[in-house]
Amino acid sequence: MAGQTFSSFSTLGDAGIKERVSEKSTLDFGLANAGGLISLVKCSQADRAYVGDDFMPDTNLYNALGVIYPLLESEQRAQALRAYLRQFDEVNSLYVQANHTAYIREPIALSDICVARPAYFPGMEREAGTIKTYKSYGALKKSLMSKGLFKPEKVPNDFCMAYALLRKDMSKFGQSFAKECHPEFLERVLKGIINLRFANARDEKENIEKFKKLLPKSLHDRISKYCEQKDWLHQENYR
């Protein structure tokens, strides 16, 4: 059983998002053992290697939890978020950005982390720089994507890359990417973006209209839908 647990969790971590989990049984196993996976993330300190004031994180474990995170019931999802925060709150936020959250792939997991702790958002400079190296969307797609998803060996953070590709100030390929992107993944990307932008916003209505100008027009109706739903966590519950 221990061997199966390790193998299944490792497979989930390698996938990083549920659309890349090839066997439904692996996803089901992760959900059935969500409590154990949350505990592993929460208490992961064994054989920790420190580099200066930071430690080398087990990003595979972070991503294993990230895969099942959007599928969890609200109580378990809150436990999972607190497990992440217990790890990150131990180190300087600059190290969290550079070495931890920069490698968490799942949009809902990463956006919830960064709504609870805005200082942990890793930014998208790396992704914007990568995009600039491609002269056409076709070249980018061939290099970085397969079947509407990113190749994990080429893209270390699926959410941040998708967000950067959709933004007009970072990419010329937003409309093409929105059309090609795996639809379920794209929905979580949009929801994650809305969570980040508006969960802690003061002037939500004005900001929504300004924000729409950054993203492809084909996505505007869904942006409005997610903003109207206001289905985001409340930062004050995680202080």
Express each pLDDT in 20-44 by its tens digit: 999 999 999 999 999 999 999 998 7
Structure tokens at 114: 């960064």
The two three-digit tokens of residue 99, written as one number: 């070495």
Return the CA Rg of the chain. Answer: 17
CB 168 within 8 A of CB 214: yes
Tell me which residue has tokens 């949350």.
Answer: 38
Q: What percent of the chain has pLDDT over 70?
A: 94
Q: Which of 54-68, 144-158, 197-211 has the lowest mean pLDDT?
A: 197-211
Residue 192 pLDDT level (bands cut at 50, 70, 90)? very high
pLDDT at residue 55, as a whole number: 85
In contact, 18 and 70? CB cutoff 8 Å: yes
Residue range 107-147, pLDDT digits in tens: 999 999 999 999 999 999 999 999 999 999 999 999 999 99
Average pLDDT over residues 190-196: 95
Please list, in sequence order, all residues whose beta carbon lies within 8 angstroms of the beta carbon of residue 61, skipping any fewer than 6 positions away. Answer: 9, 13, 37, 40, 41, 44
Residue 146 phi, psi dihedral angles, 5° rounding: -155, 120
**pLDDT at res. 204:** 63
Structure tokens at 34: 């969500």
pLDDT of residue 47: 58
8 Å CB contact between 64 and 72:
no
pLDDT at residue 1, rounded to an integer: 47
Return the minimum-mean-pLDDT range out of 1-10, 30-39, 72-81.
1-10
The amino acid occupying position 53 is: D
